[in-house]
Chains A and B, each alone.
Chain A
Amino acid sequence: MNLRDIVKILDAKVLVGEDRLDTVVKTAFSADLMSDVLAFAKPGSLIITGLTIHQVVRTASILDAVGLLIVRGKIPGRETLELARELDIPVLSTRYILFETSGRLYAHGIVGCVEKIEKFNCRQ
């Protein structure tokens, strides 16, 4: 599956990276918490989020993500998109909510970049 297939499945808009739609996607990580994306996402994953601030792009770049998929119909501001262009991170936007987006992609064979976390973390 590549980004072009994802655009079709989710009826998504391509905001950045029209020329990068052949990029293959095998795994993904969905979260609105960038702290967790940084701690748990694996390289080469698609990051699915409802956050649109420019920090999402920098986080994706640090992690070598294959792209950003913004959910709930949000369109990031000009600044965020310019940064994505500069750092060469494809950005797609879909109107589906995070749950539906993840579920639809999973049904098409994309899996989580981690299945589950090793252990429960209880704070004393």
Chain B
Amino acid sequence: MDWAYQSSFSIEGGNFENAGKASIEIKKILKNLKISDEILRRTAIVVYESELNIISYADQGVINLSVTGDKILISVDDVGPGIEDIELAMQEGYSTATDRIREMGFGAGMGLLNIKNCSDELQIFSEVNKGTHLSIIINRMERES
């Protein structure tokens, strides 16, 4: 496969000070790759929500970003508590957020759903007490509407 760009970003769990730093960096990189505004925005939201999830819930994690001519692939791997019931975690409003997360204005139980809404494909695998893996594809061709 012919990659236009590929890189990995390590995220430290619990580091709220830096929350969003990697996502803003990734957004800058994608902007330089001339990704269209709408796709850039959706990708940025997906990466930002993923980064916030790692910081809020996991011990550590990695966001892998690959850009091809027609797709943006994002894989997120974290080491942490995992998700017991993925279906429940996908429901709007369901959250296990701590007060710290809520003080920052997050943890309202929208994250995974928002990732899904901004993606063209999303797969979630999780093992309790081990970690969570997200595999996300965003097509570079704009959606209708």
B11 is an interface residue with CB less than 8 A from chain A: no
Q: Which of B16, B17, B108, B117 has the most CB of A within 10 A?
A: B108
List B contacts of A24 (CB < 8 A).
none
Name the distance in Å between B65's Cβ and chain A's nearest Cβ.
15
B105 partner residues in chain A, CB cutoff 8 A: 32-35, 37, 49, 51, 53, 55-56, 59
Within 8 Å by CB of B92, from A38, A64, A87, A123, lies A123
Across the interface, which residues of B come within 8 angstroms of A51, CB to CB? 105
With A58-B19, A87-B24 already in contact, the answer to whether A53 and B45 are too (CB < 8 A) is no
Bound CA–CA A35/B106 (angstroms)? 5
Known contacts: A62-B45, A63-B45. The answer to whether A53 contacts B104 by CB under 8 A is yes
> Which interface class (under 10, 10 to 19, 20 to 34, 35 or more) fits A?
20 to 34
> What interface size band does chain B fall in?
20 to 34
Q: Is the interface of B mostly helix, strand, loop or mixed?
A: helix
Chain B residues contacting A43 (CB-CB under 8 Å) are 37, 41
Asked if B58 is an interface residue, CB under 8 A from chain A, the answer is no
With the chains together, A36 CA to B24 CA distance in Å? 19
Interface contact A63-B92, CB-CB below 8 Å: no
Which B residue sits closest to A124, measured CB to CB? B91
Question: Which residues does chain B contribute within 8 Å of A87, judged by CB atoms?
Answer: 24
**Could you mark each residue 83-105 of chain A with 1 if its beta carbon is under 8 Å from any beta carbon of chain B, else 0?**
00001000000000000000000
Task: Give residues in B with beta carbon < 8 Å to A.
Answer: 16-17, 19-21, 23-24, 27, 37, 41, 44-45, 48-49, 91-94, 103-111, 113-114, 117
What are the 6 A-B residue pairs with the smallest beta carbon separation, nearest first?
A58-B20, A34-B105, A35-B108, A35-B110, A121-B92, A39-B114
11 extra A-B contacts, CB within 8 A, seeds A33-B108, A34-B106, A61-B27: A35-B110, A35-B114, A38-B114, A39-B113, A53-B105, A59-B105, A61-B20, A61-B24, A62-B27, A63-B45, A123-B92
